[in-house]
Amino acid sequence: HPTIAEKQAMEATTTELFDHMCNMKKGQVITNLVAQTILSKQDISNLQELLQQKATTAPAKVECNCLPETDCDETCTMKEGD
């Protein structure tokens, strides 16, 4: 028998994955995931509603949160030595 519920395990795995990812890359990862996932009309409606709500407080740009020693690509602002 599982020791934790499926929903709890999925949320923990997702949180752990995104905690180890540069903030500047998260949006593209989510976009790719949505593009590759079969979604119901209700799923899409829920996403649209959530995105509309987030758009009201979203910053123009998210800041890079990579560690200085990370080999970040050109889309991130933090480079080694900065």
Q: Could you state, in order of their start, the residue ranges of all structural domains in the chain?
A: 1-82
Please give the pLDDT value at position 80: 42
- When pLDDT is cut at 50, 70 and 90, the band that residue 63 belongs to is confident
pLDDT at 62 over 50: yes
The whole-model pTM stands at 0.74
Concatenating the DSSP letter of every residue in the chain gives: --SS-HHHHHHHHHHHHHHTS-HHHHHHHHHHHHHHS---HHHHHHHHHHHHHHHTT--SSPPP---TTS---TTSS--TT-
